[in-house]
Structure 1
Amino acid sequence: MATTALAPLLAAAGAAGRAAVLDGGLGQLLADESPGLAAPDGLWAAGVAVRSPAAVRAAHRRFLDAGADIITTATYQASAEGYIAAGLAPDERGAEALLAAALAIAVDARADFAAAGAGRRPLVAASLGSIGATLGNCSEYTGRYGHGVAAADIRAFHLRRFRMLARCLEQPRLRGQIDLVAVETIPSLAEAAAVVSALDELHRSGARLPPAWVSLTAAAEDRVPTGEPVEDVVRVAAGSPHVCAVGVNCVPLGIAAGLLARVRRATALPVVCCPNGQAWAGSAGGWRDEAARTPPGAFAAAEWVAGGAAVVGGCCRAGPEHIGALARAVRGAG
Structure 2
Amino acid sequence: MERISILGFIVAILYFITTELACNGYTHIGNNIQSEQETLIDFKSGLKDPNNRLSSWKGSNYCYWQGITCEKDTGIVISIDLHNPYPRENVYENWSSMNLSGEIRPSLTKLKSLKYLDLSFNSFKGMPIPQFFGSLKNLLYLNLSGAEFSGTIPSNFGNLSNLQYLDLSSEILSYDDFEYFNDLSIGNIEWMASLVSLKYLGMDYVNLSSVGSEWVEVLNKLPILTELHLDGCSLFGSIPSPSFVNFTSLLVISINSNQFISMFPEWLLNVSSLGSIDISYNQLHGRIPLGLGELPNLQYLYLFGNYLEGNISQLLRKSWKKIEFLNLGGNELHGKFFS
- TM-score, length-normalised on structure 1? 0.31
- The structure in which a higher percent of residues are strand is 2
Q: Which has the higher contact order (CA 8 A, sep 6+)?
A: 1
Structure with more of its chain in helix, by fraction: 1
